[in-house]
Structure 1
Amino acid sequence: MVKIMDSWFTVNQLDDTTFAISEYGHWEKVHSYLLIGEEKAVLIDTGLGIDNIKRITDQLTNLPIIVLTTHVHWDHIGSHGEFKNIYVHKDEEDWLINGIKKLPIEQIRKDVSRDITIPTPKSVSPDTYKPFQGKPTGLLNDGDEIEIGNRKLTIFHTPGHSPGHISIFDNRCGYLFTGDLLYDKTPVYAFFPTTNPTELVQSLKKITDIPKVKKIFGGHNTIGLDASILQEVRNAVKELIEKDLVRFGTGIHKFEGFSVQF
C-alpha cells in the first residue's frame, strides 16, 4: 500500500491502481480520484485549488495524466491549471473558458474561506482566489469511451446539478464516479438557477441502469458507497415523480443513504 503524508491532502488507496485524493481540512470535503492504466492515468477532478494536487499525483504516477472534469464548479477545477490535458463535457466548455455562470466571485471567495480546520498555504488568500479559466484540450459527449491501457472508462452525461455534469464508469473495476450527482451525508442539490431538478432526477435514474456497478465514488463525504444504494435511488426517483416534488422550492427530500434538495 502506498502511504503519502501531506499537510493538506489525504490519500486513500482504493486498489493497486486507484487512489482517492481528499481535502478534509475544508468543509466541502472534496475528493478527486486518480485512475492508473498501463499507458496513461486519469485524474477525475482537481479539487479546491487551495493547494496544488499535482504534488500528490507526481508521487503516485509518472504516466501522462488526462483530467476528466465531472463538472465546472470551483471546488472541482481548482488545480486544472497544473495539467496539460483537460477534458470537459461540451455543455460546460463555455463555463471553463469564461467562468461559472450566475456564481459571483464574491460568493466563491466566501465559500473558499469558511470552515477551514487545518493551515492553508501562505500563497493562497480568499481575497484573491479565482477559479481556473481556460480552454479545454477536448470535449466529452455521452457514451464516449476513454482507453488508458487495459482500463476503459465510459462517459455518461448526467446533467441536473450542472448542465454538463458527467459520471464516469470504470469498466474494469466496476467503479462508478458520480461527482456531485450522488453522495451521502449532505444533500445533492438542484436548487440554484443553473441547476435543473427534472434533469437531476433523470440522471439519477440513468445511473441505476448501468450494469455491473460494484462501488460508487462521489465527489464529497464518504469514499465508496455500496452499489446497493442504486436500488434506493431507483425507488426515490419513482417517489419524487409520483408526489410531484421534482421542481424548485420543494426542499430537502431524505432517503436511505442520500438526500436531494430542490
Structure 2
Amino acid sequence: MLTEPFVTDYCRANIWLVRGSDIDMLVDTGMGICALAPEIATTPGKPLLVVATHVHLDHVGSLHEFAWRAGPRIEAPFFETMPDAATYAHMFRNFPGAVSELPYAGWSSADYAIEPAPLHRLLDEGDVIELGDRRFCVLHLPGHSPGSIGLFDEQDGTLFSGDAIHGGLLVDDMPDSDRAAYCATMRRLIALPVRVAHGGHTDSIDGARMREIGEDYLRRNEG
C-alpha cells in the first residue's frame, strides 16, 4: 500500500501494488500531486496494468502516467477528458489545508487539474484480470459512484474494494451517488466470502468487520 502523506485526510487515498508472476497490477493512483510512476518498483520487461476503481479525483490523479490503463466501462467516457463534473477536481481547488507540505515552491491547489487518461481495457461485471499466479474477478459495486468496481481474488478471499466499502466514512451524498444502489452493493458484499478488504481509504479490514460495516449501512438506510 502506498499513499500521499501530505494530502489532506479527506482526499488521501490508498494505492495498492499487487505483484503477479506474469503481470503486476496497480489499483488506483491517488491525487497526482507528485509523480507516482517513479515511486512504483516495477520489474523491467514485466507488464504493469493500472486499474482505476472509479473516476473520482483521489483515485485517478496519476493515471495518465501509465501506459496500460483499465477501469469501469460505465465511466469510461469520463476518462477521455477527466471533466470536473465527473472527477470533482474542483473540490480540491482552494481546499483549506489541501496539503501539509508543498510539492514544490509556488504550488497551489487552485491550479489542480487531472490529465486525460483514456482507458485501454474496459472492465465489466464478471471480467477476470489474470496476473499469472493470481486472478481477480471484477465486481460492479455501484452506489458511491455509478461505475465503482471491486477486484476479488476468489481463491484467497482478498477484495480490493475502492470506495465501495472501507473502514472510514462512506460517502453516499455526491451528485453521482445512489443510496438504493449502495444498499444493493452492501447486500452483495455481506454475502461474499471476503477474508480481507483493502479499501480506497483507511486501514484494511477483515471480512467480519466488512460485514459489520455493510450491515450497519443497511440498518441506517433501509429503515
**2 CA distance for matches of 1:152 and 1:109?**
38
CA 1:85–1:122 in 2, change beyond 3 Å: closer, same or farther? farther
**Structure 1 spans left out of the alignment, 5+ residues:** 1-19, 244-262
User: Could you say which residue in structure 2 is the equivalent of 1:31?
Assistant: 14
| Number of equivalent positions | 219
1:109 aligns with 2:93: yes
Contact 2:69/2:119 (CA < 8 Å) preserved in 1? yes
Q: Alignment partner for residue 162 of structure 1, among 145, 149, 154?
A: 145
Deviations 1:215-252 (A, max 9, x none): 11111122x11211133135325423541xxxxxxxxx
Please state whether the residue corresponding to 2:111 is helix, strand or coil: coil
Q: TM-score, normalised by structure 2?
A: 0.89
Q: Post-superposition shift, 1:61?
A: 3.4
Q: Alignment partner for residue 196 of structure 2, among 201, 215, 221?
A: 215
CA 1:91–1:242 in 2, change beyond 3 Å: closer, same or farther? closer
1:97 aligns with 2:80: yes
Contact 1:208/1:233 (CA < 8 Å) preserved in 2? no
**2 CA distance for matches of 1:166 and 1:102?**
16
Contact 1:51/1:121 (CA < 8 Å) preserved in 2? no
Q: Alignment partner for residue 213 of structure 2, among 233, 239, 246?
A: 233
Contact 2:3/2:13 (CA < 8 Å) preserved in 1? yes
User: Could you say which residue in structure 2 is the equivalent of 1:206?
Assistant: 188
Deviations 1:14-69 (A, max 9, x none): xxxxxx01112212331110111011111000111001111111x25332111111
Please state whether the residue corresponding to 2:109 is helix, strand or coil: coil
**2 CA distance for matches of 1:101 and 1:170?**
32
Contact 2:25/2:48 (CA < 8 Å) preserved in 1? yes
- What are the within-5 Å matches in structure 2 for residues 36-185 of structure 1? 36-57=19-40, 59-62=41-44, 63-98=46-81, 99-101=83-85, 106-111=90-95, 114-122=97-105, 124-185=107-168
**1 CA distance for matches of 2:187 and 2:115?**
31
Contact 1:72/1:100 (CA < 8 Å) preserved in 2? no
**2 CA distance for matches of 1:52 and 1:43?**
15
**2 CA distance for matches of 1:209 and 1:142?**
17
* Greater alpha carbon shift after TM alignment, 73-82 vs 100-109: 100-109
Contact 2:42/2:48 (CA < 8 Å) preserved in 1? no
Q: Quick check: which one's helix share is greater? A: 2
**Structure 2 spans left out of the alignment, 5+ residues:** none
Runs (4 or more) in structure 1 with deviation over 3 Å come to: 102-106, 121-125
**1 CA distance for matches of 2:52 and 2:136?**
13
Q: Post-superposition shift, 1:106?
A: 3.7
CA 1:40–1:189 in 2, change beyond 3 Å: closer, same or farther? same
Please state whether the residue corresponding to 1:200 is helix, strand or coil: helix
Q: Post-superposition shift, 1:95?
A: 1.5
Q: TM-score, normalised by structure 1?
A: 0.76
* Greater alpha carbon shift after TM alignment, 83-92 vs 171-180: 171-180
Counting aligned pairs with the same residue, the percent is: 26
**2 CA distance for matches of 1:104 and 1:149?**
35
